[in-house]
Amino acid sequence: MEKRIIVTVAVGENGQKWADYSHPLMRRYAEQCGADFFVLSGHNLKDMWPGFSKLLLGSQLKVYDRMLYLDSDILVSPTAPNLFDFVPPDSLGATVIDSLPPEVAPAVKNGWISNDIKKSQKEFGDIQWSSEYFNSGAMLFCKEHLGIFESALSVAKHWFDISTDRSLSEFRVFADQTLFNYFAKARNAKVFDIGYKYNHTPAFNAFGHRYHSNFYHYVRLRPHRRGDRLRQMKIDSWILKNRKLHDFLVNNMSITRVVDKL
């Protein structure tokens, strides 16, 4: 029988606050998927910069056959299907984002993704990579992907030391996300696009309301609803725990859009 685990990270004051709302929903989802649940906390980081903390989770693949990673600012819908059954067992499941229209995706419009694709190859070697860049907020791995973590971890300090100052001629934008992408491509991993419903950031609001998706991702750049990230998660987690209210809002979008403004 396949051994499964869902993992996440709770680091820093904000991470702990988000965890209060997201982790109970993740734990419930893990039970539904027949998976264990593990949280990497701050005391496990050693000298690792928090932005690269998820690179330490690769060791779980020495024990488990497949591992689903979720950012702590993701809320899992009670109606979310089992992602382990959706992604082929030998593939890396993630949401590909570089094909998004520039008008809805700042990372595409501002050239941040293309910049990191070029910069990573300059630093770590040309791998003939120009497209297929995924978001690292929700990723499903199998045992064969352990090497991605090990390779990324070995260069994390070097990547961290590269300036993020976008006024310079050369810079990096993303942290672990670009490393996961680079080494997945370098190691010829099969990337299975899980679509936006398993990682619904505000960029995907142009394609549908988050309540019609499975994982709601509250990224820093733009909000899903009024208020800061913590307030958004607090309200939506309460709605997700009230199944009748959630189902009502799913089926009454005109009311839902009013509620989003509260």
Distance CA 23, CA 164 (A): 30
Tokens, residue 143: 């045992």
Is the pLDDT at 49 greater than 90? The verdict is no
Q: What is the residue extent of each domain of the chain?
A: 4-259
CA dihedral sign of residues 249, 250, 252, 255:
positive
**How far apart, in whole angstroms, are the C-alpha atoms of residue 145 and residue 87?**
14
Q: What is the pTM of this model?
A: 0.94
pLDDT in tens, 200-244: 999 999 899 999 999 999 987 677 777 788 899 999 999 999 999
d(CA 70, CA 65): 17
Domain spanning 4-259, CATH architecture: Alpha-Beta Complex (3.90)
Q: H or E segment at 193?
A: strand 191-193
- Within 10 A of 254 (CB to CB), how many other CB atoms are there? 6
The three-class DSSP label of residue 108 is: helix
| Tens digits of residue pLDDT in 70-121 | 999 999 999 999 999 999 999 999 999 999 999 888 899 999 999 999 999 9
- Type of residue numbered 67: M
pLDDT at 31 over 70: yes
Using DSSP's 3-state secondary structure scheme, residue 208 falls into coil
Q: What integer pLDDT is reported at residue 52 of this predicted model?
A: 86
